[in-house]
């Protein structure tokens, strides 16, 4: 099973990637994990990537591609994998196609998680964090006993930069612009399966598994 998971911020993609990888018995391959492994392992690619990250720049495609290629060539990934965070654009998707074809394989399915953007904004922008213990609340769904104060030690809750409405809207917009062509690319390849990422984690997992099974039986 060779699959790619695509989804916007706030869709619970990381959680689903973890669960689906276990259920499908394939390794979860995420660019975040690959970056960390290369940087902490001090590989040549890791050193290169770190230079860009330290400057606050995006790691260029050629460095990311080389790391992903190394990772997919490892023993545990030869029978399958679930890619999370790669590819991010059409050139990367074309590179991935070439890499897999060199290894004598190809993707089985690209699963797209779709969300209602207003719901994501509401869910994420309502989060408040405790600077002392790190606990995260939600002003509506998981409010502290005393408004604006942590239940644990009474510290003043704050809103993380990532949880600000403008930040969330910006990230959703960037995602939409970047991903639309990618989704079109995979639809044209006949690999795309789209599901709604609403409801509980278990509901989304069930939907994802059904969509993957349907795609595989159609292939
Ligand atoms: Zn606290």
Domain count, the chain: 1
Residue 54 lies in a domain: no
Residue 167 lies in a domain: yes
Residue 124 CA to ligand 1 centre (angstroms): 19
Helix/strand number for the chain, H first, E second: 8, 7
Asked if residue 25 has pLDDT above 70, the reply is: yes
Domain that holds residue 118: 2-26+79-218
Q: What torsion, rounded to 10 degrees, do the Cα atoms 97, 102, 108, 109 define?
A: -20
Question: Which pair of tokens denotes residue 206?
Answer: 């069930």
Residue 88 lies in a domain: yes
Question: Which pair of tokens denotes residue 51?
Answer: 């230079």
Residue 15 CA to ligand 1 centre (angstroms): 24
Question: Which pair of tokens denotes residue 92?
Answer: 């990367």
First to last CA, the chain: 12
CA 98, 102, 108, 113 dihedral sign is negative
Residue 210 lies in a domain: yes
Q: What pLDDT was estimated at residue 28?
A: 95
Asked if residue 208 has pLDDT above 80, the reply is: yes
User: What CATH code is carried by the domain that includes residue 126?
Assistant: 3.40.50.300
Q: What pLDDT was estimated at residue 219?
A: 67
Residue 200 CA to ligand 1 centre (angstroms): 26
Residue 176 lies in a domain: yes
Q: What is the pTM of this model?
A: 0.84
Asked if residue 56 has pLDDT above 90, the reply is: no
Question: Active-site residue numbers?
Answer: 13, 88, 127, 160, 171
Residue 168 lies in a domain: yes
To which H or E segment does residue 100 belong?
A: helix 90-102
128-165 pLDDT, tens digit per residue, is: 999 999 999 999 989 999 999 999 999 999 999 989 99
Residue 50 lies in a domain: no
89-116 pLDDT, tens digit per residue, is: 899 999 999 999 998 899 999 999 999 9
């Amino acid at each position: 099973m060779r699959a790619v998971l695509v989804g916007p911020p706030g869709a619970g993609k990381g959680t689903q990637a973890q669960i689906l990888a276990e259920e499908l018995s394939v390794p979860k391959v995420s660019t975040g994990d690959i970056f960390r492994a290369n940087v902490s392992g001090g590989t040549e690619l890791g050193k290169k990537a770190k230079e860009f990250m330290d400057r606050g720049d995006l790691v260029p495609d050629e460095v990311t591609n080389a790391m992903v290629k190394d990772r997919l060539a490892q023993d545990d990934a030869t029978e399958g994998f679930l890619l999370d965070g790669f590819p991010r654009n059409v050139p990367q998707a074309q590179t991935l196609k070439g890499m897999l074809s060199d290894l004598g394989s190809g993707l089985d399915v690209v699963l797209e998680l779709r969300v209602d953007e207003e719901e994501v904004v509401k869910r994420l922008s309502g989060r408040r964090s405790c600077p002392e213990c790190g606990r995260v609340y939600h002003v509506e769904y998981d409010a502290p006993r005393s408004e604006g104060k942590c239940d644990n030690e009474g510290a003043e809750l704050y809103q993380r930069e990532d949880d600000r409405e403008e930040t969330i809207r910006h990230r959703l917009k960037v995602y939409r612009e970047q991903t639309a062509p990618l989704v079109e690319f995979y639809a044209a390849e006949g690999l795309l399966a789209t599901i709604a990422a609403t409801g509980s984690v278990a509901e989304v997992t069930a939907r994802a598994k059904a969509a993957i099974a349907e795609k595989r039986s159609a292939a």
